[in-house]
Amino acid sequence: MSKKEHQQFFQDIIDQHKGILYKVARIYCQNEEDRQDLIQEMMIQIWQSIHKYNSQFKISTWIYRISLNVAISYYRKSKTITSNQSFLEDQSAQQLSDDKTEREQQLNLLEQFVSELREIDKALMLLYLEDKSYNEIAEVLGMSVSNVGTKIGRIKDKLKIRFSQINQSYHGRN
Amino acid sequence: MDEIKLKELWQATNEKLEQSQNDSKQQTDDITHLKVQNFISSIKPIKIFTILVGVGWVFILGTVVLNLFVYAFDTASPFFLFSAAIQVILTAIALVIYIYQLITIYQIDITEPILKTQQKIANLQLTTLWITRVLMLQLPVWTTFYWNVSMIEHGNWVLIIIQGIVTLSFAIAAIWLFININYGNKDKKWFRLIFKGKEWTPLMKSMELLEQIDEYHNVAKS
């Protein structure tokens, strides 16, 4: 591949799949500045890894691998913990008290729940919510399809409890 | 909340996100034209610098000690000679681990599955524990290198006993730390006290991550 083709391939990948980078950055970084740094780091890694791309994998699988690996490594290097639980809880309480539609509240709760998950659980949940097949999730994470199912089931159970607890306290107040 | 409703809800967050995405053309152009530093390569310069300093130290001190062993064994203080030799050997071992870390950094492939890559990176961080353990073994020799034969033969016994207690305490502490500084003790209070502070954050986070990876590997058993 010539340098020009290499550049064009990179540009096409980013144009078509930049949404993946933004979604990954959103769940791993609360702060906008960190998020932009993380997206740039993901792009650099994609650029430097193009020669390793194996066409037996879907391009989205390959991009999810790179972006999630970079995001989890970035979390390890960062000085502050990205998901600040008490801040989120305050924010959530505020949001619940505001006059918002139930859907918006649920949306905030879901985002909050995902941001509070541990690093690899976050990756798994993101792929699940993005409607990826269990096969593709297994390929991105490097685990068996049956383990993917078991893990997703457990996280969904936690989510269910969380939603019911917060909904109960919300309806209890009104 | 059922599966379909959950995914529909998530799609709504994506719609919000799409509206905020900037044009990435400028960013991609910058990346393809600039030689930019990234998070893995940023680890390398400091490691290379540490290795160069370490090699210099081992080379200079090693040469001095070797010369003393060969040409002045009868006249030099045996306490200094053996203390310095132990110090050089332990520093050389720590250097080998550092070099192993550097080689492993180059072998990390960010395009591999998450669990595999993250396990490699976390294990790489954990080798830092080995460096700490080996360097801890140096503790007692810092309390013996200045001893000499005349101090033992003609010195004040109270001072010699105090010196002996200090050296023995350092030796016990060094062996205890060498044995106990390991991943299995990561949740102990004393361990967290030693590894408190910003410079140890990546190491502590790596341990948390390894725990998560273990859970994923053992999901069928739990």
Tokens of B127: 């080798």
Torsion sign across C-alpha atoms A67, A71, A72, A76? positive
Confidence band, pLDDT 50/70/90 cuts, at residue A89: very low
Q: Is the pLDDT of residue B37 over 90?
A: no
State the smallest CA–CA distance between residue B119 and chain A in angstroms: 11
Q: Which residues of A touch B118 (CB under 8 A)?
A: 69, 72-73, 120
**Of A18, A23, A69, which is closest to B14 when you measure between CB atoms?**
A23
Q: Is the pLDDT of residue A80 over 50?
A: no
Give the helix, strand, coil percentages of chain A, each rounded to 5. 80, 0, 20
pLDDT digits (tens, 9 = 90+) for B109-126: 999 999 999 999 888 888
Tokens of A86: 């008490």
What rounded mean pLDDT belongs to chain A?
Answer: 82
Task: Say which residue, B208 or B5, is predicted with more confidence.
Answer: B208
| Interchain contact, A23 vs B17, CB within 8 Å | yes
Distance CA A72, CA A121 (A): 11
Distance CA B9, CA B70 (A): 77
Q: Is the pLDDT of residue B54 over 50?
A: yes
Q: Is the pLDDT of residue A88 over 50?
A: no
Confidence band, pLDDT 50/70/90 cuts, at residue B23: low
| Strand runs labelled E in B105-206 | none
Neighbour count for residue A56 (Cβ, 10 Å) = 7
Q: Are A74 and A28 in contact (CB under 8 A)?
A: yes
Which of B111, B118, B123 should be substituted to probe chain A, the one whose Cβ sees the most A Cβ atoms within 10 Å?
B111
Q: Are B163 and B147 in contact (CB under 8 A)?
A: yes
pLDDT of residue B3: 74
Q: Are A43 and A29 in contact (CB under 8 A)?
A: no
Q: H/E element holding B22?
A: none
pLDDT digits (tens, 9 = 90+) for B126-176: 898 999 999 999 999 999 999 888 888 888 899 999 999 999 999 999 999
Q: Which residues of B touch A49 (CB under 8 A)?
A: 110-111
Distance CA A174, CA A100 (A): 13
| Interchain contact, A111 vs B13, CB within 8 Å | yes
Distance CA A89, CA A67 (A): 27
Query: Which pTM value belongs to this model?
Result: 0.79
| Interchain contact, B114 vs A74, CB within 8 Å | no
The least confident of B17-21, B64-68, B98-102 is: B17-21
Confidence band, pLDDT 50/70/90 cuts, at residue B25: low
Instruction: Report the Cα B137 to chain-centroid distance in Å.
Output: 14
A-contacting residues in B 177-206 (Cβ below 8 Å):
198, 201-202, 205-206
Confidence band, pLDDT 50/70/90 cuts, at residue B51: confident
State the smallest CA–CA distance between residue B212 and chain A in angstroms: 7
ipTM score: 0.81
